[in-house]
Amino acid sequence: MIDYQPKEHEVIVPLQAVGIQYQCEFCNEGFMMADVSKAPQAPIIPGGRPLIWHVCSKCKKTMLLPDVYPKVEYLEITATAPEQSEE
Ligand SMILES: [Zn+2]
């Protein structure tokens, strides 16, 4: 039940939250977890986005990823397939 009252020009969009995990490339069992304590040492890839250190929840190996995992994405709930759109 949504009890938010939209203001002028506001539109309520039903969203579904999905959690996204990055499976470890070394053991294929654990999941990579962002280790933000190492963030200052992470290199910057061309384009300016920092790579983030991650540590596997199982084998404890570390790797750099261009995104932060686990992450949450909000998907618009539609009856049809989502359109292809540039990010
Ligand atoms: Zn692993």
Cα of 62 from ligand 1 centre, angstroms: 8
pLDDT of residue 36: 77
Tell me if 63 is assigned to some domain: yes
Tell me if 30 is assigned to some domain: yes
Cα of 22 from ligand 1 centre, angstroms: 10
Tell me if 85 is assigned to some domain: no
pLDDT of residue 86: 62
Low-confidence stretches of the chain (pLDDT < 70) are 1-2, 39-42, 45-46, 79-87
Cα of 8 from ligand 1 centre, angstroms: 49
pLDDT of residue 61: 97
Handedness of CA 75, 79, 84, 85 (dihedral sign): negative
**CA distances, 36 to each of 14, 68, 69, 82 (Å):** 31, 9, 11, 32
Contact, 22 vs 66, CB < 8 A? no
Domain tally, the chain: 1
Q: Which residues surround ligand 1, an ion (CB under 5 A)?
A: 24, 26-27, 30, 56, 58-59
Question: Could you list the residue range(s) of the whole structural domain that residue 50 is in?
Answer: 18-73
